[in-house]
Structure 1
Amino acid sequence: MATLRQKALLIAQGRSRVTVTPPSNKVSDYYGIYVFGLKQMKESLAPSVFKKVMEAIEKGSKIDPSTAEEIASAVKTWAMSKGVTHYTHWFQPLTGSTAEKHDAFFDAHAGIEKFKGTALVQQEPDASSFPHGGIRSTFEARGYTAWDPSSPIFIFDKTLCVPTIFVSYTGEALDYKTPLLKSMEAINEASVGICQLFDRNVKKVVPSLGIEQEYFVIDKSLFATRPDLVMSGRTVFGHNPARGQQLEDHYFGSIPTRVKDFMMDFEIEAHKLGIPVSTRHNEVAPSQFEVAPLFEEINKAIDHNQLLMDLMDKVAEKHNLKVLLHEKPFAGVNGSGKHNNWSLITDTGVNLFQPSNSARENLQFLAFVVATVKAVYDYADLLRASIASASNDFRLGANEAPPAIMSVFLGSTLTTVLDELEKNGNVKIEKGDNMYMKLGISKIPEIILDNTDRNRTSPFAFTGNKFEFRAVGSSANSAGPMTVLNVIVAEVLRNMLKDVEKEMSGGKEKKIAIVNVLRKYIKDSKKIRFEGDGYSEEWEKEAEKRGLSNLKSTPFALDTYHDKKVVEVFAKHNVLSSIELHARHEIMLENYIKKVQIESRVMGDLALNHVIPTAIQYQNKLIENANGLKGLGLDNKAAVETIKEVSRHLESLKQNVNAMIDARRKLNKEEDVAKRAKGYCNDVKEAYFDKIRYSVDKLELLVDDEYWPLVKYREMLFIK
């Protein structure tokens, strides 16, 4: 066995547990101790200052300098009492991860600890060093981070972290948070308009989110011996083990001891940070797991998910484990997603996607369900583009993930209700008749929460009192797709209100006007609804007949960002300007190119420097043995056949690797980023990745296990 692989296996097999002891038997004793939240603010700030903070959170009003100084002073005192020496603005640039620059409280010139209000509210990172899509040049480096008071300040790794937005000197958004906050305002305004048709007391609507995070865990030493995992996050080679997930025994099975210790550890740390993780379990694939939190306001939920991914990685180090967040780290077994459970909550405490026994509330419920379905139909390609990435392309459309075709699953009960409403909505209303009974609206069962089956094959499914967007990738920042969802639903709600008002101005009674508009929207968006198996070939054919797009690859899906309709909807709701949208498109294309390029280089390196030399060494050994058998007059037919088979795969491997390298060189001369990205997709990834992998995986089966240099799937997935 190759020396490095052997050493890694011996280390992994000899690991001992890392004991985890909670600070208290009650989570409530330490939950949120590293968060400077509303409770801490109320206790440490003057009532007048606290009032201004609340106005900034609830109304977006500006915090004046004197108020900022008082907040900063209180925050510094609290942080230093926890042993903190540095602070940072914690933001989410378009890299996909978070960013931070640590500054000390201690001022050497003054000889004391300082934290000014100006440092709390604003800082100035180099905007040209982050992805900017041409918005910033190297000689125009200025950018700003600005405090987001709606997300709590927290302590992470002995550093005070201030959640912020990140914008350029000229004001363009260079992060995920800025457009998300704007989209929240857009969905709020549009939702309130519809809600007030039913309840004038509603003044605010907040999108709520619960993010189920899937991930893989493998031993750190095994990870370190796989250059492909280290460089790209996934295994570009690896033959399927004899046992994968076919026994269906891993899902909800007993959690391996070392992994359970790791889970307990990161849950404790998450609770200290106020992250409401509540569920952990084995997922379908071996070594795959899931963590799920309680629902939170969408901005906070996304901040917490970004923080959680970082936290999991750091805690895993303590347990000599490695967390893999790539959407498809292993071929042949399930990939990982980030299931975004989205709903809308009014300031009166009503979940707008929660049906009830009240006919009035159910009509409102139907209005928001129908608007969401129509939004997905009207902007299906944009929703697909929002979850597009090089890594998610390996997962979408595979046998365990939602397809690249956008569709909505409502379940049999709600489908029947909508069909009934569309069909019989124009029933003549006689005096004394119950319009809602005739429309079937009041017949929505209270048990709709449970009487609809789940559809794991749907990318966008109604699951009782929320919509679950299942197509988001496990490594993604959820702010991207959720910003899109907020905007497109806001657009439909806005149009819905106009259409209802138009009906009413024509003399229609309000309830009749609402029903008439809903019937039209149901009919217009019917093609996007699908109740069957989203993984099937039949659905691909059916979707094509319906005129639904099937954008399987990221560079082609991203073309949607150039659509006039898309540019207009973002601008109309003041979420992204055409300049910002163009920049994001450019950044995503560049990101795609770089990731495929890295994987291509890793493939070439592993093939040329690891696999081919090993296979030749083994081939020479076979030739020596075959000649020995022949010299003794013994049958060497089997050895000769193996030698020939190894030779065939070696030749194919060398040809394809060299051809891939040539294709890459040609593409690097292409100046148009969109053409280069599509070229990397078609002429590098699609043309050679599978061919090269096929040869390597076949050689893995042929070469003696003692010679093979790369840690195998059976070892990574099953040794804990």
Structure 2
Amino acid sequence: MSGNKSRLKAIQEITSAKPFETEMTQPLKKIWACDVFGLHQMEESLSKSAFKAIKKTVQSGAVLEPSTADIVAAAMKDWAMSKGAKFFSHIFYPMTNATAEKHDGFIITNSDGTCITEFTGSLLIKGEPDGSSFPNGSLRMTNAARGYTAWDPTSPPYMMHTANGAVLMIPSVFMSWTGEALDKKIPLLRSNSAMDSAAQKVLKLMGETDIATLNSSCGAEQEYFLIDENFANARPDLLLAGRTLFGAPLSKGQQFDDHYFGAIPERVQVFMQDFEDKLYRLGIPAKTHHNEVAPGQFEIAPYFESANVAADHQQLLMTMMKITAKKHGFLCLLHEKPFAGINGSGKHVNWSVGNATQGNLLDPGHTPHENLNFLLFCGAVIRGVHKFGPLLRAVIASAANDHRLGANEAPPAILSVYLGTQLEKVFDDIKTGALHVPTSGGLMDLGLSQILQFERDPGDRNRTSPFAFTGNRFEFRAVGSSQSVSGPLVAMNTMLADSLEWIAGKLEAALSNNSNETEAVFAVLKELMEEHGNVIFGGDGYSPEWHKTAVEERGLQNIPTTADALPVLKTQEVIDLFSRTGVFTPLELASRFEVYAEQYVLSIEVEAKLVIEMATTMIFPAAISYLSSIASTGLTLEYSPAGAVAETASAMMASVEQLSEAIALDHFDTIEEHMNFLAKDVCGLMLDARASADKLETLVADDLWPLPKYREMLFIK
């Protein structure tokens, strides 16, 4: 069947389809974490001594004895098999933003042909995948393949169900035979440990005596698009690149502001409820869902969790989202910019730091000017973003995210910190040495007796800031929707650890000079603000004036592309940061640069090849068919689009020819040179070909156009 007939048939099938029928959702109390082998399930199935030991490991990182691991493994196997599992898997997170898993059976055969099941502590603790078959940045060669997975007890095992059974999934770290981290979990655990160590020093200097282990927390707001799978199957670009490489602008997009928080389409609502039931069974605290700004775009946001568990849950959420969407006849698009001309998708990472004894150390309370612990930790973040803004830009760098950073829908590629009116005034006062009592937000009074008055927040929000304080946490808004949250969390934890070490040194010196605690804190923060206060900005991050001021007057860096951002990982300042905190060895950091640079190159090259293929085999033939149909009428009209179609098709194929020649080039001395060529030349040629193709879409007869159009994909649900 020709492409245009497939498109028209897809429209007919979608508009006549009924929502996928699912069972009525069950009460939350009944399903919550029912497929998770967490502490509650362990307490029910382990001896008191074994449970006490594993609880201590989970909550404080204490070493787990092999004998206890055997007991836990046996109980875990019994629990899993009671739910229908015959297999288990160490699930891990290689440097691909995806997950990896290898399934092993519980089965052991006997010499008499019978079988038993077995799951020992050693099987629980260690697995062995191929270390050279995953992205590793030359840490492993093909002939040096051994790698290990190892159980992470701090992230609970869970069940993944299919129509015909279940698999016990065991969250794990992934390392090489020589001990280097090949995954995203090991650096996250290390960064949290570094942050805890530095934070303990500061809190002890502040007179705290009972200090529980500190942990960073994360709540990631996930944006995504849903389109019908019938449309997706007719779009090679969506299937292979995750975004539309062609597509004429919509006559009606998001300009009416009528989609955000609008009524959720019934079919999408059914998907959301089914999806969230699956999340609740896995102990993932989905909190909010709604229509996003662009048509066809939606968001789900979970409640806060410890960073390590939140990162695992984020990976699982993306997996379950795609699986459930397919079940409902959708393709879930997590690409940062699947459709040109409307908003792309991000993953706003809400991040804070705290523990069981001091609470959330980024919560200012009602009197932030008197909350010394908060001021120190908030100041540490300010210093970290100023010193390592380019690193924060590097950890969110990808070919996909380049399409949204800096556009009028996402924070710009200049890292700045938004504090809000009240806090900005507090830190300005500290800098000038004249601290005043900040004002509150006041009461919100609409003059309507039926509407209760409430206290306004002391500062507004700023959606143009890439790194904004939002009440009791910071929100890193520039993270891409398809990305793992681990990379950003590693960078934030590590820069915080570095700043807290700096603060501890300064604070200790100030206190040794007989300064009282308050004087010492304000002296340290005054010095911090004098050196790093330039990073605070509360205005419009989209404005051209800010871009100029940030670079020319404040010394901040504007880093527009991944090709510009990734080399930051090779700078001595970043190498030293990760080395002294113990988060990455220089070799491990170099491997990250190599892997992410290669992924950038491969992503652009795949897109370029798709542009050539689709333009040549789908769009150009449609234009020729239209010209033939006009010629066959024999009519001579005063105006005919034939000339414009012929001219535009010719221009498109000229751009395609140039693009073909460009991607054939392979004489690059360095990967940096190759990335820059792709960013500055190849991407431009793809846009040239697209401009002609998108113009053809507006000229060629609708029934001849082979690709599902934006209006169909975004508005037909």
Same-fold call, TM cutoff 0.5: yes
State how far apart, in whole Å, the 1-side matches of 2:609 and 2:649 are: 18
| Structure 1: 4+ residue segments shifted above 4 A | 357-361, 441-449
Distance change in 2, residues 1:234/1:358 (3 Å): closer
State how far apart, in whole Å, the 1-side matches of 2:227 and 2:358 are: 43
State how far apart, in whole Å, the 2-side matches of 1:520 and 1:65 are: 50
Aligned to 1:35, the other structure's residue is in SS state: coil
Contact kept in structure 1, 2:433 and 2:526, CA below 8 Å: no
Moved more, 648-657 or 226-235: 648-657
Q: Over residues 159-197 of structure 1, what are the superposed CA-to-partner deviations in whole Å (9 max), with x where a residue is unaligned?
A: 100000000000100000000000001111111222221
Contact kept in structure 1, 2:227 and 2:330, CA below 8 Å: yes
State how far apart, in whole Å, the 2-side matches of 1:273 and 1:96 are: 20
Q: Is 1:649 aligned with 2:648?
A: yes
> How many equivalent residue pairs?
695
Query: What's 2:675 paired with?
Result: 677
State how far apart, in whole Å, the 2-side matches of 1:358 and 1:400 are: 34
Aligned to 2:101, the other structure's residue is in SS state: coil
State how far apart, in whole Å, the 2-side matches of 1:683 and 1:361 are: 54
Query: What's 1:5 paired with?
Result: 7
Amino acid at match of 1:61: A
Amino acid at match of 2:659: M
Contact kept in structure 2, 1:226 and 1:710, CA below 8 Å: yes
For residues 609-628 of structure 1, what are the structure 2 equivalents within 5 Å?
609-625=617-633, 628=634
Aligned to 2:323, the other structure's residue is in SS state: helix
Compute the RMSD of aligned alpha carbons: 1.7
Q: 1:186 aligns with which of 188, 194, 201?
A: 194
Contact kept in structure 2, 1:198 and 1:364, CA below 8 Å: no
Q: 1:703 aligns with which of 692, 700, 705?
A: 700
Shift, 1:449, TM fit: 7.8
Shift, 1:271, TM fit: 0.2
Distance change in 2, residues 1:358/1:549 (3 Å): closer
State how far apart, in whole Å, the 2-side matches of 1:582 and 1:466 are: 31
Q: Over residues 208-249 of structure 1, what are the superposed CA-to-partner deviations in whole Å (9 max), with x where a residue is unaligned?
A: 111110000111111111100000000000011211001100
Contact kept in structure 2, 1:121 and 1:146, CA below 8 Å: yes
Shift, 1:451, TM fit: 2.2
Q: Over residues 429-470 of structure 1, what are the superposed CA-to-partner deviations in whole Å (9 max), with x where a residue is unaligned?
A: xxxxxxxxxx33687789998221111111000001110000
Q: Over residues 4-26 of structure 1, what are the superposed CA-to-partner deviations in whole Å (9 max), with x where a residue is unaligned?
A: 111211221122112233452x2
State how far apart, in whole Å, the 1-side matches of 2:321 and 2:109 are: 35
State how far apart, in whole Å, the 1-side matches of 2:252 and 2:279 are: 34
State how far apart, in whole Å, the 1-side matches of 2:439 and 2:461 are: 21
Distance change in 2, residues 1:361/1:191 (3 Å): farther
Contact kept in structure 2, 1:183 and 1:486, CA below 8 Å: yes
Shift, 1:52, TM fit: 2.0
State how far apart, in whole Å, the 2-side matches of 1:71 and 1:378 are: 44
Q: Over residues 322-348 of structure 1, what are the superposed CA-to-partner deviations in whole Å (9 max), with x where a residue is unaligned?
A: 110000000011000001111111221
Aligned to 1:100, the other structure's residue is in SS state: strand
State how far apart, in whole Å, the 1-side matches of 2:363 and 2:213 are: 17
Aligned to 2:33, the other structure's residue is in SS state: coil
Please give the TM-score of this superposition, normalised by the length of structure 2.
0.95
For residues 396-545 of structure 1, what are the structure 2 equivalents within 5 Å?
396-425=405-434, 439-440=435-436, 450-545=457-552
Query: What's 1:563 paired with?
Result: 571
State how far apart, in whole Å, the 1-side matches of 2:357 and 2:24 are: 37
State how far apart, in whole Å, the 1-side matches of 2:106 and 2:370 are: 53
Please give the TM-score of this superposition, normalised by the length of structure 1.
0.94
Moved more, 193-202 or 267-276: 193-202
Shift, 1:103, TM fit: 1.1
For residues 210-225 of structure 1, what are the structure 2 equivalents within 5 Å?
210-225=219-234
Q: Is 1:118 aligned with 2:115?
A: no
Contact kept in structure 1, 2:439 and 2:458, CA below 8 Å: no
Q: 1:235 aligns with which of 244, 248, 256?
A: 244
Q: 2:713 aligns with which of 705, 712, 716?
A: 716
State how far apart, in whole Å, the 2-side matches of 1:449 and 1:102 are: 53
State how far apart, in whole Å, the 1-side matches of 2:703 and 2:441 are: 63
Contact kept in structure 1, 2:369 and 2:375, CA below 8 Å: no
State how far apart, in whole Å, the 1-side matches of 2:275 and 2:370 are: 41
Shift, 1:629, TM fit: 2.6
Query: What's 1:301 paired with?
Result: 310
Structure 1: gaps (5+ residues): 426-438, 631-635
Shift, 1:584, TM fit: 0.3
Shift, 1:202, TM fit: 1.9
Contact kept in structure 2, 1:356 and 1:446, CA below 8 Å: no
Q: 1:312 aligns with which of 309, 321, 325?
A: 321
For residues 579-618 of structure 1, what are the structure 2 equivalents within 5 Å?
579-618=587-626
Shift, 1:65, TM fit: 2.4
Distance change in 2, residues 1:112/1:524 (3 Å): same
Contact kept in structure 2, 1:105 and 1:114, CA below 8 Å: yes
Q: Over residues 299-353 of structure 1, what are the superposed CA-to-partner deviations in whole Å (9 max), with x where a residue is unaligned?
A: 1111111101100111111111111000000001100000111111122152111
Contact kept in structure 2, 1:250 and 1:284, CA below 8 Å: yes
Query: What's 1:106 paired with?
Result: 107
Structure 2: gaps (5+ residues): 444-454
Distance change in 2, residues 1:361/1:350 (3 Å): farther
Q: Over residues 662-715 of structure 1, what are the superposed CA-to-partner deviations in whole Å (9 max), with x where a residue is unaligned?
A: 11111x343522222222212211x21211110000000000001000000000
Q: Is 1:629 aligned with 2:635?
A: yes
Query: What's 2:133 paired with?
Result: 129
Q: Over residues 343-372 of structure 1, what are the superposed CA-to-partner deviations in whole Å (9 max), with x where a residue is unaligned?
A: 111221521111224679612111111110
Q: 1:203 aligns with which of 195, 209, 212?
A: 212
Query: What's 1:661 paired with?
Result: 660
Amino acid at match of 2:10: A
State how far apart, in whole Å, the 2-side matches of 1:386 and 1:644 are: 48
State how far apart, in whole Å, the 1-side matches of 2:442 and 2:190 are: 34
Aligned to 2:171, the other structure's residue is in SS state: strand
For residues 300-449 of structure 1, what are the structure 2 equivalents within 5 Å?
300-357=309-366, 362-425=371-434, 439-440=435-436
State how far apart, in whole Å, the 1-side matches of 2:186 and 2:74 are: 26
State how far apart, in whole Å, the 2-side matches of 1:456 and 1:164 are: 36
Distance change in 2, residues 1:449/1:509 (3 Å): farther
Query: What's 2:446 paired with?
Result: none
For residues 273-312 of structure 1, what are the structure 2 equivalents within 5 Å?
273-312=282-321
Distance change in 2, residues 1:522/1:606 (3 Å): same
Distance change in 2, residues 1:507/1:306 (3 Å): same
- Identity rate of aligned residues, in percent? 43
Query: What's 2:447 paired with?
Result: none
Amino acid at match of 2:602: K
For residues 89-168 of structure 1, what are the structure 2 equivalents within 5 Å?
89-109=90-110, 111-157=115-161, 158-168=166-176
State how far apart, in whole Å, the 1-side matches of 2:24 and 2:182 are: 39
Aligned to 2:132, the other structure's residue is in SS state: helix
Aligned to 1:637, the other structure's residue is in SS state: coil
Amino acid at match of 2:670: D
Distance change in 2, residues 1:364/1:62 (3 Å): closer
Q: Over residues 144-167 of structure 1, what are the superposed CA-to-partner deviations in whole Å (9 max), with x where a residue is unaligned?
A: 000000000100121100000000
Q: Is 1:169 aligned with 2:166?
A: no
Aligned to 2:703, the other structure's residue is in SS state: coil
Q: Over residues 608-644 of structure 1, what are the superposed CA-to-partner deviations in whole Å (9 max), with x where a residue is unaligned?
A: 000011101112222333xx234xxxxx2311xx222
